[in-house]
A and B are shown apart, each in its own frame.
Chain A
Amino acid sequence: MARVEINIELCKGCGLCIEACPKGCLKISSGFNRMGEHPAEWGSDEMCTGCGLCAVVCPDCAISIYK
């Protein structure tokens, strides 16, 4: 099992990680960051394999992965 951390102040909510994740672990948050954007949110350590594909597509390098 793996864990993904998203730095919500770097994330701009582009949603590309959601597209990339083969396990459907990511979604857009209903909350805001300081810039008023809805950042991505990770919510399922049961599904997440730590494959890292979300981090590969992230244009803002907002994702860290733990395994």
Chain B
Amino acid sequence: MEIIYERPESLKDVRTHYCAGCGHGVVHRILAEIVDELGIREKTVVIAPVGCAVLAYDYFNFDVCEAPHGRTPAVATGMKRVRPSNVIISYQGDGDLAAIGMAEIIHAANRGERITVVFVNNGLYGMTGGQMAPTTLIGQRTATTPMGRDFRECGQPIKVCELLSQFEGVVYAARCAITGPGNIIKGKKMLKKALSIQLADLGFSIVEFLSACPTHWKLTPREAVQYIEEKMVPCFPTGVIKDTIK
């Protein structure tokens, strides 16, 4: 018998600290597979965020730098400008990107930095105990919205890909749902395209992953996947939102 699937070289052979069924693990794996497929392991640098993915440097088998509190796009900008031949990936959660670091992401996108953003949207702050994020759904109960998010008090969920798509420097923005195999494979294609765009030096690219946080949603991993399909996708439509390089 021949091996037809095994752990990608870009993923270290260690157990992650993520909870059972956490979407971060799937996003790590598809990113690692793509880095292997494109043969860019020696020149890839991920900038890890604050949040549950803060320890990503323990898991990826390529260079990882840590920049807390939404500043990964700023660090990524510096790295890409100094070392343009490297592949620079800003890996961010929704609290990190859309709350704490909203200024950094908007300006990096507007400048059209030739970086790729991997945006993991699980609708709340996972690491700190499940508080509301800008992406929390209307009516969703979190540690800081115990009665459910109310528009008049907390505004609407921010659609990051649509928001950033208005900037000319953003050449690719796409959203996928980490649910069943079909959607995961679609998401992988999107991320591969985003990285190919960076390799061709064409502009800023972002892929948003609707991703499970079973722990703070207080659901089983299976129910969490259903929750993405039934509750998150209607608010955050999946598909390619902007693609100027068809």
**A residues whose Cβ falls under 8 Å from a Cβ of B:** 2-3, 9-10, 12-16, 19-20, 35, 37, 50, 52-53, 55-61, 63-67
CB of B7 within 8 Å of the partner chain: yes
Option from A12, A53, A60, A61 in Cβ contact (under 8 Å) with B181: A53
Known: A15-B221, A50-B4. 16 other contacts (CB 8 A): A3-B1, A10-B15, A15-B220, A15-B222, A56-B185, A58-B29, A59-B22, A59-B23, A59-B29, A61-B8, A64-B5, A64-B6, A64-B7, A65-B4, A66-B1, A66-B3
Residues of B close to A35: CB separation below 8 A? 15
- B203-243 vs A, CB cutoff 8 Å, 1 = contact: the mask equals 00000000000100000111001000000000000000000
A59 to B15, CA, bound (A): 11
Closest 9 CB pairs of A and B: A59-B25, A12-B20, A14-B21, A14-B20, A14-B221, A66-B1, A65-B5, A56-B181, A53-B181
A52 to B3, CA, bound (A): 11
- Chain A nearest CB, measured from B46 CB (Å): 16
What are 18 A-B contacts defined by CB distance under 8 Å?
Answer: A12-B20, A14-B21, A14-B221, A15-B21, A16-B221, A20-B180, A52-B4, A57-B181, A58-B29, A60-B16, A60-B25, A61-B11, A61-B25, A61-B29, A61-B32, A63-B5, A66-B1, A66-B2
Residue of B nearest to A52 (CB): B5
Residues of B close to A59: CB separation below 8 A? 18, 20-26, 29
| Interface residue tally for chain B (C-beta within 8 Å) | 32
Most chain B beta-carbon contacts within 10 A, residue among A10, A16, A50, A65: A16
Option from B5, B15, B214 in Cβ contact (under 8 Å) with A55: B5
- Chain A nearest CB, measured from B178 CB (Å): 8
Residues of A close to B225: CB separation below 8 A? 16, 19
Known: A15-B221, A19-B222, A20-B181. A60 touches B15 (CB 8 A): yes
Residues of A close to B26: CB separation below 8 A? 57-59
Residues of B close to A52: CB separation below 8 A? 4-5
